[in-house]
Amino acid sequence: MNFFPYKINFAFVVAIIAVGCDVLFHKFFTHPMESFDYFTVKCLIAFFVTTIFLNWPALVDGTKRKFYSSAWIIVPASLFTFLMSLYYRWWEFLSGVPYGIRPPDIDFINRDNTFLFALSWYIGHSIFYLIGVWVAKKTTKPTSTEEMELNGNSSPLVSI
C-alpha cells in the first residue's frame, strides 16, 4: 500500500539513497566527517530537484520530457550537484572563511590540485544521485493511472 503518490515516493527514495551513499563515502574516505546540517540540506535538495523534474511541464507540442528514462538524467543530476556546490559556497561566504575550506579532505585525492578536487566532488555527488535514481526505479512502481500521467496521457475518465 502506498501512503504517498508515486512521484513523492520516487523522490524520497532518491534523496535517502543519495544521502546514504554520501554518508558511507564520508565515513570511509574523508576526514573530518560532514555535519548533520550538510546531510539534511543534501536530502532536501535531492528531494526537491527530483520532484521538480518529475513534474516538468510538457513541451509546446504536448510531449513530456522523460528526464529519468533517457540520457536527460544528466540534467537533474547536474542541477543537484550544482545546488550542493552553491550550498558550500554560501556557507563559506556567510562564515567568512576562505574559498574551498568547507569540503573535507578526500583520502586519495590531493587537495592541492583544486580542479581535480572540485571535479571529483562534482562527479561523486552526481553519481550518488544517479544511484538513488536507479534504486528508486527498481523499488517504486506507479499505479496504472500514475503511469499514464507520467507518459503524458490524460487520466481515464468515466463518462456519465
**How high is the pLDDT of residue 111?**
80
Q: What is the mean pLDDT of residues 110-137?
A: 91
**Eight-state DSSP code of residue 1:** -
Q: How confident is the model at residue 18 (pLDDT cuts 50, 70, 90)?
A: very high
Contact 18, 129 (CB under 8 A): yes
State the amino acid at position 39 in one-letter form.
F
Phi/psi for 31 (5° steps) reads -150, 140
Cis geometry, peptide bond prior to residue 32 (ω within 30 degrees of 0):
yes
Q: What is the mean pLDDT of residues 71-87?
A: 93
Q: What is the mean pLDDT of residues 95-116?
A: 80
Q: What is the mean pLDDT of residues 129-142?
A: 94
Contact 131, 125 (CB under 8 A): no
**Domain residue ranges of the chain, discontinuous segments joined by +:** 6-144
**How high is the pLDDT of residue 160?**
38
Q: Does residue 21 surpass a pLDDT of 60?
A: yes
Contact 35, 41 (CB under 8 A): no
Average pLDDT, the chain: 85
CA distances from 148 to 7, 60, 137, 139, 153 (A): 13, 19, 16, 19, 5
**Tens digits of per-residue pLDDT, 26-38?**
999 988 888 899 9
Q: Which of 56, 74, 53 is nearest to 10 (CA)?
A: 53
State the amino acid at position 158 in one-letter form.
V
Mark out the alpha helices in the chain (DSSP H runs): 6-29, 36-54, 74-95, 114-139, 144-150
Q: How confident is the model at residue 155 (pLDDT cuts 50, 70, 90)?
A: very low
CA distances from 64 to 54, 69, 123, 132 (A): 10, 11, 27, 22
Q: What is the mean pLDDT of residues 144-152?
A: 65
Q: What is the mean pLDDT of residues 106-135?
A: 90
Cα 146 to Cα 133: distance, rounded to the nearest angstrom: 18
Q: How confident is the model at residue 60 (pLDDT cuts 50, 70, 90)?
A: confident
